[in-house]
Structure 1
Amino acid sequence: MTTATHLSKDSVREHILATGQRIMASKGYSAVGLNEILKDAGVPKGSFYHYFGSKDAYGVALLEAYFADYLADLDATLSQPNSNMAQRLMHYWQQWQATQSFQDCQGKCLAVKLGAEVADLSENMRLALKQGTAGIVKRLSAAIEAGVAEGSLKINNTPTHVAESLYQLWLGASVMVKIVRNKQPFESAMQLTQQSLNITP
């Protein structure tokens, strides 16, 4: 447990979000109560309601923070120097395998963990998920288009369609990895990804 006593106001909010992200990535949204998050974060309940009006509002903020960090990491991956776009995209999916597995993901697999659950519980959280995943697909689409232009990959459909299909493929593989408790679904997803982009392993 990390106490928030000596943190600034903005840092306290971020600390509460980071704590909830880590716990909910392991247990899910419904199974985690505010008391568990606040106890682990070392924050009184009054402070929580100063930053978030409800658990639903907290869930939205949690997803927004998660996707902001995710998209920043994705932007960094897709702009790596000394590599072509096909190599950058492969690195992205290699990172996916390393961080979205059935083992402890330390909060990095939040969209996979909460997606199906909260989409039926909260319209606001569903919209936050929709906006966040749309941002990922948009970046992947632009990267695929750039890869085609530079000649490092080839596709048989529009960049947007391929990006959507691949993102959905990897989301599904992430769920299957949790079910079968091994990484075979990721290996299959990688093979299909390479085939879709005409990239030689």
Structure 2
Amino acid sequence: MSNRETDTREHILATGRRLTAQQGYSGVGLNELLKKAGVPKGSFYHYFRSKEAYGCAVLKDFVHDYSDRLASSLDHPTLNARARLLAYFEGWHQNQVSPNLEDRCLVVKLSAEVADLSKDMSEILRQGVIEIIARLAVTLDDGIAEGSIAQIDDTNGMAEAIYHQWLGASLVASLSHDDSPLKSAMHTTQQLIPSA
């Protein structure tokens, strides 16, 4: 693809991600997307064979970006592993209450919706979740090794439990328009990963 083609494709994806964060995947019609992006229908089908293929591309783009953000948080050079984990979840809390819907996690926003719509989209999100949990487990292992986190026998199981807790807290916070579930998730997370 030429730079111009790459730019157009990225513009469609960025516009679509913004709309999806606001309205969900099903809530974004193709005509609305094209109008907001300022591109003709033919351009869309040049880059994406269907709306589902476009949805997969949006989610792959989100998972890739999220992986980069996760690394910048969990690899912070001046914090110990426990502090990095807590900072990551504090950032999650702040993003989920942000008035900018694009800051919020698309896994939280779309998991239930795409589970019934698209096996391919569901698989992209599922793989993204697996990678996040694995990265959290590595950080737990790092904390145990460096002495900032007390011994945990099953770091992968703990990472999975904490991540699932935050997904649930985010859903309840969205339903209630109250961040109390996120505060509760942080309190529980601090207890589950005690200092050594």
Q: TM-score, normalised by structure 2?
A: 0.94
Structure 2: runs of 5 or more not aligned: none
Cα distance per residue 1:93-120 (max 9 Å; x no partner): 1110111237432254211111110011
Residue range with higher mean Cα deviation, 143-152 or 97-106: 97-106
Q: 1:186 aligns with which of 153, 177, 182?
A: 182
Q: Pick closer, same or farther for the CA change 1:114–1:185 going to 2, 3 Å.
A: same
1:104 aligns with 2:104: no
The question of whether the paired residues in 1 share the 8 Å contact of 2:96 and 2:103 is answered with no
The question of whether the paired residues in 2 share the 8 Å contact of 1:22 and 1:107 is answered with no
Q: Pick closer, same or farther for the CA change 1:96–1:129 going to 2, 3 Å.
A: same
Larger helix percent: 2
CA RMSD, 1 decimal: 1.5
1:76 aligns with 2:96: no
Separation in 2 of the partners of 1:11 and 1:90?
Answer: 36
Separation in 2 of the partners of 1:180 and 1:16?
Answer: 32
Q: What percentage of residue pairs aligned between the two structures are identical? A: 46
Alpha-carbon deviation of 1:165? 0.5
Alpha-carbon deviation of 1:82? 1.4
Segments of 4+ in structure 1 off by > 3 A?
A: none
Matched residue type, 2:112? A
Counterpart of 1:4? none
Structure 1: runs of 5 or more not aligned: 1-6
Separation in 1 of the partners of 2:6 and 2:195?
Answer: 44
- Count of matched residue positions in the alignment of Structure 1 and Structure 2: 194
Q: TM-score, normalised by structure 1?
A: 0.92
